[in-house]
Every structure is written in C-alpha cells, then in structure tokens.
C-alpha cells in the first residue's frame, strides 16, 4: 500500500507535469511558456501559493473519464509581486487545450472571490481553446460565473488580463470586462468566432492573425491596451502597469521617493510652432513634464490623435490624457473620445490623479462620424470627466476650440485647476472660420474679398485667439510660461492630494454607451 506522504508527493509531481512532457514541448515549440513558467515570471521567487492543485473534473461524457488531469487545466493561487499581494490564474493549454468547464471555472472563481475579499489585484493569464464542449451547459455556466465576478470586481480591484494563446468565443468576454488587456505578438488571438466559422457564415477567407491578432486589436479594434514581442515582455508590462495602481479602490497608488531639484524645463518654451496650423508631438511635452522615463502609454497605436498613459510626477502616480496635434491635428473623433473616456474612468476608479494636456481644434466633422455616433461617443468623454472625483488639472498648450474646450476637462465640468500657455487660443472656433461666418456679407461685398477676410481674421484673432479673455473670467486660473509647467504641476497636485469630492447618492449613473 502506498504511504500517505509518497502518495501526496506523487500527486504533486503529476500536477506539475500538466498535460505531460510531450505537450509541454509542443507548447515551447510554438514560442509559448507553460502556465507555471508564466507564474514564475510574474511573481516574486518562492512567493506563489497554489490553490486547487488536486482538483479534477467530474465528467464522464465522450471519454472524458479517461482524460483526467490534476488541476483541470488551470493553475490558481496567490503570491507577491514586488512585495505586493496578487491573485493569479494561469490556464494550461497542455491540458485539454486549456478548455474551461465546471471544475476549471470554480478554481478561477475561487481566487476571484479571495481577491475581492482581501482587496488585491487579480491577474489572469489566458491560454484557452474556449468552452469544453464535452461538458455542455456547465461550461457555459462556468464562463457566466466568471463574467459576473468580473463585473462585481470592476472598479474595486485592478483586473489585468494577458492573452497568451488562442482566446475564442465566450473566453474573450472575461478579458474584455477587465481593466487592461495585454497580448503577445504572433502567438495570441482574440475573436468571438474563428476563421473557419467566419468562412462558413460570411465566405470571408481570413487568418487567425488578421482576424484577431495582437496587431489588429492594437490598431483597428482597440480591444487590447498593450502588446509585446513575447510572453516575458507581456508579463513585464503587467508588472509595470500595476506599479501605477493601488491594491484596491480604497487605497492610493504607492508614491516613489523623489529628490527635488531644478524643475524648470526651458525646452518647452520652443515647443509650440509659430504657425497655429503646424503640428508638434505632444509626447515631447509629456517627456518634459513627467519624471524621466516614467511615461507608459496605453493603447499607443489606436486613436493616435489622443495620447493616454500613466506617468509619475515627483514620484506621484498620475494619468495623462493629451490631444496629439501630430495626428489629425489632435481632433476629437469617435475612437479618441471612447479611448480617453475609458482611461479617465479607470484612473478615477483607482484614485490616480489626472493631468490633461489640451490642444484640440474641435470634433471631427463628416457623415462617417455623425452616422456612427460622434454625439454619444463624445458625450462619453464629457461624462467621464464630469463624474471623476480625483484631482484634475488641465494645461491648455495651444488650441481649445468649441465644445471640445468644454469636454477636455474644463473648469466648467469640474477641473480643479486650469493653466494655459501664452500661445493658447480659447474660442468658439479658429479665427479664419469665425471671420468667414461673422463678416460674410462684408467680405462678399468687398472689392478685395481676400484682403478683407485676412483683415477680419486678424481682428478676430486679436480679440479672441489668446487665453486672456478666459483668464479675465476666471475660467483659466493662471497663464504660465511653458518652462514653469512641471514646477506648477508638482505644486498643484501636492495642493490637491487631500481633495474630497462626493458624487450625489444614486444607484449608478447612465453613461451614454
């Protein structure tokens, strides 16, 4: 008879082998790590405590009784990441393709419940072929159990999802409900229906990469927030993002030690071109304002007219939302509005102060934008800023035209502080368009319409194309020299660090989705 300790050791060794050495080699051959190798990269050495290692499924349908693996295709537990408590589940593709069914789902739900009860982040490492068909409706029920917990945890604890293999059907919706999605280039895919189903239903021929690869979701759909060249780089990105976030919604992000010095940045004085029509890269302003090498951009390749990301300011974690004049002149369109709105709400949920760098000529006109809902999508950004209770500071670097001026965290919708550079233009529209409308009859009746137009444009610009009317009315708190921006922002966020702002009591708002 096998001794109890020997039996335990044998079972543990069996669980550590997953689907067996042959399948592990196949996994490695695809350039992928195993479920346990991923956890080892994610967590501090020796800190992982596994839960449910000996769990097995209970199904006997279609020969499943002869395919039982300890752990049932997912490794779950908790550990430390840079000394912080983190809960994790890592799906094992070597076991039944990482397919999700009753026991597999219960293990994931178990760590989700613990994460909520103990107020710590949850990291999901997804590598699954989808629902385990042989188990029928209990597989679908397992997915729904996870979805329900994702929603309950939303805004309470950070939830991060790495896609490290195929992720199809119901498997895509749990990541979509989490705060950030990470994908590995060349080995990870996300789609509701795969290429074969697409071909059958729509007769389109498409590869997995073109349908739902990392590049597609980073540039076209915006589903993924970060991509990296391999799994190790993805896991490092997860660590980096969590470094800007707190453990839960009741805490503030950790503040790093910072030794102050000369905070002036003379390079900013020359950033804005003399011509209002000439572009510049707002990332250059971010690099000068934020702590050195601290900016981590979110959805970098999607809606490039809007730049969003985390940074540090004198060691303090902040979220940055900035119009990008180097792409579509920094205009607000459907994608940019939704991208920024989501980021603003994420920062607000986890007590990350917001810095807005504004240079916006307005909303993008056109039938495509109107027919696809620029009104409701632009309203998402307006709603997100208006609802946010974290410290919010805006710096108007150049243009702030029309309704976009209101939407980009103006004082009217709750900004705590609004600063402007001397070249800022705060008006209903640009001088050229305004002159054409206001002086249309005068221009048309003139002997030299072009000269009259230029004259009236200059007249309008003199009256409105500057920050001083807004400053006179208190809508701009201070007009500052660009070189002093960083110093002003450090003091502003220090001043606001004890801000208290409560929303009216309600079940929840009704954001224009």
**CA nearest 31: which of 230, 181, 201, 224?**
230
HSE, CB side, 13 Å, CA atoms: give it for residue 297.
17
pLDDT of residue 20: 85
d(Cα 33, Cα 31) in Å, to the nearest integer?
Answer: 7
pLDDT given at position 95:
83
* Tokens encoding 432: 């050229």
Instruction: Give the pLDDT of the chain (513 residues) as one tens digit per residue.
Output: 778 898 889 888 887 887 889 889 999 999 999 999 999 999 999 999 999 988 876 776 766 667 776 878 899 999 999 999 999 999 998 887 777 888 899 999 999 999 999 999 999 999 987 777 666 688 788 899 999 999 999 999 999 999 999 888 888 999 999 999 999 999 999 998 889 888 999 999 999 999 999 999 999 999 999 999 999 999 999 999 999 999 999 999 999 999 988 999 999 999 999 988 899 999 999 999 999 999 999 999 999 999 999 999 999 999 999 999 999 999 999 999 999 999 999 999 999 999 999 999 999 999 999 999 999 999 999 999 999 999 999 999 999 999 999 999 999 999 999 999 999 999 887 766 776 677 777 777 777 777 776 777 777 777 777 899 999 999 999 999 999 999 999 999 999 999 999 999 999 999 999
> Per the structure block, which two tokens stand in for 263?
């905070």
pLDDT score, position 135: 66
Name the E strands within 330-477. 354-360, 392-401, 417-420, 425-427
Q: Which of 168, 404, 431, 461 is catalytic?
A: 404
Torsion over CA: 477, 480, 486, 488 (sign): negative
Quote the crossing angle between the two packed helices 374-387 and 334-349, to the nearest 10°. 20
* The 3-state secondary structure of 211-235, one letter per residue: HHEHHHHHHHHCCCCEEECCHHHHH
Task: Specify the 3-state DSSP secondary structure of 141.
Answer: helix
Catalytic residue (choose from 186, 222, 315, 403): 403
How close are the terminal C-alpha atoms of the chain, in Å?
63
290 counts as catalytic: no
Nearest to 384 by CA among 338, 335, 318: 338
Long-range CB pairs of 230-234 (<8 Å, 24+ gap) are 230/31, 230/184, 230/185, 230/187, 231/32, 231/33, 231/38, 231/41, 231/162, 231/164, 231/184, 231/187, 232/33, 232/41, 233/184, 234/162, 234/164, 234/182, 234/183, 234/184
User: In this structure, which CATH number among 3.90.226.10, 2.102.10.10, 3.40.50.720, 3.40.50.920 belongs to the domain 4-242?
Assistant: 3.90.226.10
Q: What are the distances in angstroms from CA 389 to CA 23, 347, 351, 354, 404?
A: 50, 10, 8, 10, 20
Whole-number pLDDT of residue 491: 97
Q: pLDDT digit string (tens) for 2-32? A: 788 988 898 888 878 878 898 899 999 999 9
- Could you confirm whether 129 is annotated as catalytic? no
In this structure, the strands spanning 180-184 and 296-298 are: unpaired
Q: Choose the catalytic residue: 18, 98, 130, 169.
A: 169
Whole-angstrom distance, CA of residue 15 vs CA of residue 72:
9
Per the annotation, the verdict on 444 as an active-site residue is: no
Q: What span, in angstroms and rounded, lies between the C-alpha atoms of 190 and 212?
A: 5
Query: Exactly one of 170, 212, 309, 378 is catalytic; which is it?
Result: 170
- Confirm or reject CATH 3.20.20.220 for domain 266-428+466-495, answering yes or no: no
Beta bridge partners of 88: 77, 123
Give 245-303 pLDDT, tens digit per residue.
Answer: 999 999 999 999 999 889 999 999 999 999 888 999 999 999 999 999 999 999 999 99
Which pLDDT score is estimated for 60? 62
Query: How far is Cα 319 from Cα 485, in angstroms, rounded to an integer?
Result: 16
Domain ranges of the chain: 4-242, 266-428+466-495, 431-464
- Look up residue 387 and give its two tokens: 């609802």
Question: Do 4-242 and 266-428+466-495 come out as alike in CATH topology?
Answer: yes
Tell me, yes or no, if 403 is annotated catalytic.
yes
Identify the bridge partners of residue 502 per DSSP, sorted by sequence position.
none
């Amino acid at each position: 008879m096998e001794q109890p300790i020997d039996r335990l050791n044998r079972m543990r060794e069996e669980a550590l082998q997953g689907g067996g050495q042959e399948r592990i080699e196949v996994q490695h051959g695809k350039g992928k790590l195993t479920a346990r190798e991923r956890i080892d990269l994610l967590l501090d050495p020796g800190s992982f405590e596994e839960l449910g290692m000996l769990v097995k499924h209970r199904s006997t349908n279609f020969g499943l009784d002869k395919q039982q693996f300890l752990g049932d295709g997912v490794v779950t537990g908790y550990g430390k990441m840079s000394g912080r408590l983190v809960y994790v589940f890592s799906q094992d593709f070597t076991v039944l393709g990482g397919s999700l069914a009753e026991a597999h789902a219960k293990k994931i739900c178990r760590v989700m419940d613990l994460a909520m009860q103990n107020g710590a982040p949850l990291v999901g490492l997804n590598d699954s072929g989808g629902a385990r068909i042989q188990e029928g409706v209990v597989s679908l029920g397992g997915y729904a159990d996870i979805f329900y917990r994702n929603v309950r945890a939303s805004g309470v604890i950070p939830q991060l999802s790495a896609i490290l293999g195929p992720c199809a059907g119901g498997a895509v919706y749990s990541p979509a409900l989490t705060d950030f999605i990470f994908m590995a280039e060349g080995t990870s895919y996300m789609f509701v229906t795969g290429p074969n189903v697409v071909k059958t239903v729509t007769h389109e021929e498409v590869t997995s990469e073109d349908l739902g690869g990392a590049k597609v979701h980073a540039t076209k759909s915006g589903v993924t927030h970060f991509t990296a060249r391999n799994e190790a780089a993805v896991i490092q990105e997860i660590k980096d993002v969590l470094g800007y976030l707190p453990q839960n919604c009741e805490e503030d992000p950790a503040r790093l030690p910072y030794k102050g010095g000369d905070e002036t940045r003379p390079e900013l004085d020359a950033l804005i071109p003399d011509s209002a029509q000439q572009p510049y890269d707002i990332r250059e302003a971010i690099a000068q304002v934020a702590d050195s090498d601290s900016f981590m951009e979110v959805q970098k390749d999607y809606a490039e007219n809007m730049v969003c990301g985390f940074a540090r300011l004198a060691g303090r974690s902040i979220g940055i939302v900035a119009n990008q004049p180097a792409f579509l002149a920094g205009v607000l369109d459907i994608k940019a509005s939704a991208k920024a709105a989501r980021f603003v709400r994420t920062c607000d949920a986890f007590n990350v102060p917001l810095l807005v760098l504004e240079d916006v000529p307005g909303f993008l006109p056109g039938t495509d934008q109107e027919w696809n809902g620029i009104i409701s999508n632009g309203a998402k950004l307006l709603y997100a800023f208006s609802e946010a209770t974290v410290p919010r500071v805006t710096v108007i670097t150049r243009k702030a035209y029309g309704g976009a001026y209101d939407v980009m965290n103006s004082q009217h919708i709750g900004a705590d502080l609004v600063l402007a550079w001397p070249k800022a233009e705060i008006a209903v529209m640009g001088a050229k368009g305004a002159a054409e409308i206001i002086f249309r009859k005068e221009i048309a009746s003139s002997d030299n319409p072009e000269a009259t137009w230029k004259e009236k444009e200059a007249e309008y610009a003199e009256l409105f194309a500057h920050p001083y009317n807004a400053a006179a009315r208190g809508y701009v708190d201070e007009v500052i020299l660009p070189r002093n921006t960083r110093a002003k922002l450090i003091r502003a966020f220090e001043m606001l660090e004890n801000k208290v702002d409560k929303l009216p009591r309600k079940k929840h708002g009704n954001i224009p989705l």
